[in-house]
Amino acid sequence: MTADILLDMRQITKAFPGVKALDRVDLKVRRGEIHAICGENGAGKSTLMKVLSGVYPAGSFDGEIVYDGQPAHFRHIADSEHRGIIIIHQELALVPQLSIAENIFLGNERGRRGVVDWRETNHRTEQLLAKVGLKEPPTRLVDRIGVGKQQLVEIAKALSKDVKLLILDEPTAALQETDSRKLLDLMLELKAQGVTCILISHKLGEVRYVADTVTVIRDGTTVSTLDAKAGISENEIVRDMVGRDMTHRFPQHERRPGAVLMEVEDWTVWHPERAERKVIKGANFNVRAGEVVGIAGLMGSGRTELAMSIFGRSWGRDISGTVKLKGQPVDVSTVQRAIAAGISYVTEDRKSLGLVLDETIRFNTTLANLEGVSSRGVLKRNEETRVAERYREALATRTPTVFQKVVNLSGGNQQKVVLAKWLFTAPEVLILDEPTRGIDVGAKYEIYTIVNELAAQGKGVVMISSEMPELLGMCDRIYVMSEGALVGELTAAEASQERIMSLIVND
């Protein structure tokens, strides 16, 4: 451990009114290593990175930072970027209406005297894109490519600067297994080129795959620093993160699926803007009462589009096919009708599609079923509070009151509020789209427990997920989706990551 220390953060303490986000945190990053920071949501990882990058200027926290042999006093992000510290945030910071090349060189334009040299810009972009393994023309607009590819653009952007310390805040949260693997390999490659990386991640598999050192943070303090090269188990990390041994990542369950609850037949959907593109190609699937059915597939395979088109035609055009509940065809042509028919859809992106962030837990809980807390159009406030409290207790949402704004909650608790909203519509079938994305291990376990309870109550659950272990650990059956078609169906006993992957690849 006498190796060259690139970054040394000592006794960092950062307090906000009423809460100490960081309490004497230590972090030592050696030059040329990949250093993973693990911790539950709200543990203080992001705050620590904001302290490092100058979002919280020097002086607004206690403790000292030594970077590259000199004490660092960053007053602004520009200061840290200048010294080669580049942070890629969970929420991507790209301008959707600009091209890939324009985004990569935004604020760092190639050219002279204010005139952009497009040839060099695009040429350099091509090189950077090749480095990150993204096959898109540099002139493509960012809003025309998926989230996964946008992530790669962000990394290309970081590479375009003279990066010494690259910080990736949950870079694979929105990525597919294959894309994630590619990204991780990219990190290893960068490491070989001498770039030091800090990786913040919930996915322990990938931490184990790339990290040299793991620092675990819990409740704003450093719990442990582990040498990953010596070999550590995921359980070790998990135990330090949550402060308890977690022998099972998935709660025990025993399911006895009943009769078929929902059937979707010949479901076909066309792209809303590009009329010639058939996005869903005659999909057939069903869910039984008390069953959890998974839909696996790569990003862009049409999983979300399938779910949203079923849920009140919220996506796509010229939709054809039938949805049957308990054998009877039902009208799902609007969201209201889909809800009335007993279908709920928990969206993939809870912040932009699931919640009214500036409103309270109570407001969000009852939003999809205001009829249930009103009479003749007048809200019954007390009843509403009771309902919100009931779900807060049932789902163990951690919040002082249901009058807390949801924007102040952690990802896991926000997801519980979204679940509460849909449970209050008393659905027969729940479609969960990436229900545990960006949620820490402890909260994931709780979400899984809720899913199991729903199945035990006889509801049908459709679970869309990019994390294969999650599908394997939770589902009774898994449909595999590839390029808009369901290409295979596996029972829990048959399913494995390899078989799912081979179905996707061999399509």
Per CB under 8 A, residues contacting other proteins are: 18, 311-312, 314, 334-336, 338-339, 345, 347, 352-360, 363, 367-368, 370-371, 374, 377-379, 381-382, 385, 400-401, 403-405, 421, 425
The answer to whether 276 touches 461, Cβ cutoff 8 Å, is no
Alpha-carbon distance of 104 to 101, in angstroms, equals 5
Q: Which is nearer to other proteins, 327 or 377 (CB)?
A: 377
Q: Which is nearer to other proteins, 403 or 502 (CB)?
A: 403
Minimum CB–partner distance for residue 389 and other proteins (Å):
8
Q: Which is nearer to other proteins, 116 or 147 (CB)?
A: 147
With residue 26 as reference, give the H or E element that holds it.
Answer: strand 19-30
Minimum CB–partner distance for residue 29 and other proteins (Å):
32
Minimum CB–partner distance for residue 335 and other proteins (Å):
4
Q: Which residues pair with 27 in a beta bridge?
A: 9
Minimum CB–partner distance for residue 377 and other proteins (Å):
5
Q: Which is nearer to other proteins, 80 or 360 (CB)?
A: 360
What are the two backbone dihedrals, phi and then psi, of residue 244, each rounded to the nearest 5 degrees?
A: -150, 160
Residues 6+ apart with CB under 8 A from 17: none
Q: Which is nearer to other proteins, 167 or 355 (CB)?
A: 355
Q: Which is nearer to other proteins, 99 or 365 (CB)?
A: 365
How far is residue 118 CA from its own chain's centroid?
Answer: 34
Q: Which is nearer to other proteins, 311 or 448 (CB)?
A: 311
Q: DSSP state, 99? A: B
Dihedral sign (CA 128, 482, 91, 32): negative
Minimum CB–partner distance for residue 408 and other proteins (Å):
10
Minimum CB–partner distance for residue 417 and other proteins (Å):
11
For the chain, the maximum distance between any two Cα atoms, rounded to a whole number of angstroms, is: 73
The answer to whether 87 touches 169, Cβ cutoff 8 Å, is yes
The bridge status of strand 62-67 relative to strand 70-71 is: antiparallel
| CB burial of residue 405 (10 Å; 0-12, 13-18, 19+) | middle
One-letter amino acid of 468: M
One-letter amino acid of 290: G
End-to-end CA distance of the chain: 49
Minimum CB–partner distance for residue 353 and other proteins (Å):
5
Q: Which is nearer to other proteins, 139 or 334 (CB)?
A: 334
Minimum CB–partner distance for residue 143 and other proteins (Å):
15
The answer to whether 268 touches 321, Cβ cutoff 8 Å, is yes
Alpha-carbon distance of 151 to 441, in angstroms, equals 23
Q: Which is nearer to other proteins, 50 or 421 (CB)?
A: 421
The candidate with the shortest Cα–Cα distance to 295, out of 443, 435, 94, is 435
Output the DSSP codes for 323-379. Answer: EEETTEE---SSHHHHHHHTEEEE-S-IIIII--TTSBHHHHHTGGGGGGGEETTEE
Minimum CB–partner distance for residue 318 and other proteins (Å):
20
- Token representation of residue 250: 């998935």
Minimum CB–partner distance for residue 436 and other proteins (Å):
19
Q: Which is nearer to other proteins, 335 or 501 (CB)?
A: 335
